[in-house]
Amino acid sequence: MSISPRLVGAALLTTALSSPTLAYATALQEQTPVAEPTPSDANEANSVQAEPTAPAAAEEEQVDISVPGGEIVVTGRRDRNLEKASQQVISVLSSAEIARTGEGNIAGALGRVTGLSVVGSGYVYVRGLGDRYSLALLNGSPLPSPEPLKRVVPLDLFPSSVIASSLVQKSYSANYPGEFGGGVINLTTKAVSKEPFLSFGFGTSGDSETTGKIGYTYFGSKSDWSGYDNGARDKPAALQAFLDSGKRLSDGTVDSQAIASQVVTSRNAALQRWNNLPLNGSASLSGAKSWDIGDTTVGIIATLGYSNKWQSRQPRQQRSLSADLSTIESDFLGLTTENRVVLNGLAGLGLEFGDNKIRWTNLYIHDTVKQARLSTGRQNQTTVDRMRQSTAWYERQLTNTQLVGEFKITPELSLDLRGSYANSKRKAPFELFFEYVRSNASADPLGDYYVNRLNNGNGG
């Protein structure tokens, strides 16, 4: 098929517009002279070649478009309330909530939890059940009781300053021992803080029933203000010799007067009247610091606290021998004053590396109550007045050291190790009781005076 020269020229012209290089090669083949491309033609050709990369640059550019509903935000919420998230029935008190109660010990703070009540000297009743139905734990480990006839430690021993949180669980779970019927109370001590701090505090308080009012006390020893006896209440030599002899008082060969003269002294038996009882006082010192050593964090924490409080009560004690309580056998009105001194300390060492934690906690609590009581009344429906006085010293001590290791071996496997040693003591030396009698008889030369006849109350 023959092609006219005019069509050949048109085809060459079209090819040159698309690609100058191809047009130049075709011109050489046809031996047809073609003008060399000008710089403007070269620039135009380059712009044509760069056009395919322009859409990629347009795709990388971020376009801001404002339309209703153009942005969708997905949010989530984490429930940090353990009471709602737990499958058991629990109540949790944080350190902030404990501080807001204003109580000096954890027993008073727990008394504000629903379903709990404090009875006596810091014994917590859960759901109305007695203290023997409860279980007290410190950092998950059981605690011994300093009371000889109790299995549960009185929680008024623990000052609120050393407790980070308190958890009360009223139903069973596998992570707690099952030896409770009412509930388990787990106290968690303060852990090592990652932020260093040093704090000092002191306070004073009083109440309308005790502060500035009349109370009773006795001398005891010079160091009673510290809660420790300086040896004045140690066993007297005569009493120790009698105990070592193995004899009985009924043998008739024991010098009971020598023993009594050393046990009953003006230092621990003479009741003193205090017209203006002082204010309560307390002081605390705490601090913590941590260090980062590579991927390991080492921290220490220490707290020290002291409190001295006074409390007076005016109880009335009555006893009836009839079933309908119509006949009063004895009726006494008394005044009891207690001076309570608490010294506590906590020292902790923590180690964290990765997801693993090791914590060593040492706790020391020394709680002392110095008690003096005076009461007057009558018994056996007679006209004889009786005055009873008693002095006592109750010293309780708890020492606890605990080592806890929490290791995360794999994302699905973790190991929790706990070991603790606890020791509790109770001392109650020289609990003395005396009764004085006033006969009110005209024939008795001492009928207008309270007299102790040293006959154990027999014969008036």
Q: What is the CATH number of domain 82-189?
A: 2.170.130.10
* Rounded-to-integer distance, Cα 108 and Cα 359, Å: 28
Residue 399 backbone dihedrals phi, psi, to 5 degrees? -125, 130
Compute how many other C-beta atoms are within 10 angstroms of the C-beta atom of residue 222: 10
Tokens of 375: 């009461």
Which residue type sits at 432? L
Nearest Cα to Cα of residue 342 among 58, 104, 149: 104
* Rounded-to-integer distance, Cα 19 and Cα 378, Å: 131
* Rounded-to-integer distance, Cα 402 and Cα 360, Å: 6
Nearest Cα to Cα of residue 154 among 140, 171, 134, 172: 134
Pairing of strands 183-189, 134-138: parallel
Tokens 């023997």 correspond to 132
Which residues, at least 6 apart from 88, have a Cβ–Cβ distance to it below 8 Å? 169, 170, 171, 172, 173
DSSP state letter for 179: -
- The burial of 291, by beta-carbon neighbours within 10 Å (0-12 exposed, 13-18 middle, 19 or more buried), is given as exposed
* Rounded-to-integer distance, Cα 375 and Cα 331, Å: 10
Report, in angstroms and rounded to the nearest whole number, the Rg of the chain calculated over CA atoms.
44
* Rounded-to-integer distance, Cα 244 and Cα 104, Å: 43
Which residues, at least 6 apart from 49, have a Cβ–Cβ distance to it below 8 Å? none
pLDDT reported for residue 136: 84
Domain borders along the chain are: 1-36, 82-189, 215-246+254-438
Helix (H, G, I), strand (E, B) or coil at 295: coil
* Rounded-to-integer distance, Cα 98 and Cα 82, Å: 16
Which residue type sits at 216? Y
Nearest Cα to Cα of residue 215 among 281, 278, 282, 121: 278
* Rounded-to-integer distance, Cα 282 and Cα 163, Å: 17
Distances (CA, A) of 446 to 198, 208, 210, 382, 441: 64, 38, 34, 17, 8
Q: Is there a contact between 342 and 369 (Cβ–Cβ < 8 Å)?
A: no
Compute how many other C-beta atoms are within 10 angstroms of the C-beta atom of residue 124: 24
* Rounded-to-integer distance, Cα 7 and Cα 450, Å: 150
Strands (E), 105-182: 116-119, 123-126, 134-138, 141-142, 163-169
Which residue type sits at 429? P
pTM listed for this prediction: 0.71
Strands (E), 46-119: 90-94, 116-119
* Rounded-to-integer distance, Cα 298 and Cα 196, Å: 12
Which residue type sits at 74? V
pLDDT reported for residue 60: 59
pLDDT reported for residue 56: 52
pLDDT, one tens digit for every residue, the chain (460 residues): 455 555 444 444 444 444 444 444 444 444 445 445 554 454 444 444 445 555 555 555 655 554 455 566 777 666 566 666 666 677 888 888 888 887 777 888 888 887 788 887 677 888 777 777 788 888 888 888 877 777 777 887 788 878 888 888 888 787 777 777 778 888 888 877 778 889 898 999 999 999 999 999 999 999 999 999 999 999 999 889 998 988 887 787 888 888 888 889 999 999 999 999 999 999 999 898 999 998 899 999 999 999 999 999 999 999 988 888 888 889 999 999 999 999 999 899 999 998 899 999 998 999 999 999 999 999 887 889 999 999 999 999 999 999 999 999 988 899 989 899 989 899 999 899 999 999 999 898 988 999 987 665 554 4
Q: Is there a contact between 460 and 451 (Cβ–Cβ < 8 Å)?
A: no
Helix (H, G, I), strand (E, B) or coil at 46: helix
Tokens of 344: 């506590």
* Rounded-to-integer distance, Cα 373 and Cα 239, Å: 25
Length of the chain counted residue by residue: 460
